[in-house]
A = this chain, B = another copy of it.
């Protein structure tokens, strides 16, 4: 659970100070946030305690948008729709969906971030490997342990359409760095040898790492991005289908 010291998140023991008639978030009045801040700036500020540059705020927003919905296929969406279909309220259904953000679902972002962050630090910065060498070492290590590399491959898509859009945006906004570079090198090897490509977890995890998010924040950021989709899917189930249907 250790957070790497180079990528700190603030631990002042108070995020929002509540006093009568006053709500101050990390030192900024809520009225000012309402008037002048974008949503993704506020997300960044709540987690990391600093206001991001416009480019970084735009990139975080695009990552949240990329996560917004994946139709009825994910375990989270299925669980949420089952719960509302059984007659529980919308908050219970959204919560039930979020419960499915385990290590094989949203948690995969954290696993990818952890891999990228530890590898950049240990293989590249400390041991002085090139990105290509580090990528090969990671692939070999997972292959020998018969493990999948988190952030690559998708059970529905051979080529997940989200990574190219995110990577291209990261480069044009110039918010990319060593984690994305490593992630791309890994993809080169995997696509050549196995036809496996980067997925949303890999792309968003690498870019979030380049923007200084510790891996522990990954599945929560996914939750922020996916709640809109969960809500839309739950409203659809509630309004367009018979309750407690057998074919769900």
Contact = CB atoms under 8 A, between A and B. Distances in A.
23 contacts: A13-B241, A14-B71, A16-B69, A16-B70, A18-B73, A21-B157, A21-B158, A22-B161, A23-B70, A34-B166, A34-B169, A42-B228, A84-B102, A87-B102, A89-B92, A90-B216, A96-B96, A155-B244, A156-B246, A216-B238, A220-B235, A224-B224, A224-B228
Interface of A: 1, 3, 9, 11, 13-18, 20-23, 25, 29-31, 33-35, 37-40, 42-43, 46-47, 61-62, 64-66, 68-71, 73, 75-76, 78-79, 82-96, 98-107, 155-162, 164-166, 169, 216-217, 219-221, 223-224, 227-229, 231-236, 238-241, 243-244, 246, 248
Copies of the protein in its oligomer: 4
A20 B156 contact: yes
A30 B145 CA distance: 35
A100 B91 CA distance: 8
Contacts of A98: 91, 94-95, 98
Contacts of A87: 102-105, 107
- Kindly name the residue among A21, A34, A38, A65 whose own CB sees the greatest number of chain B CB atoms within 10 A: A34
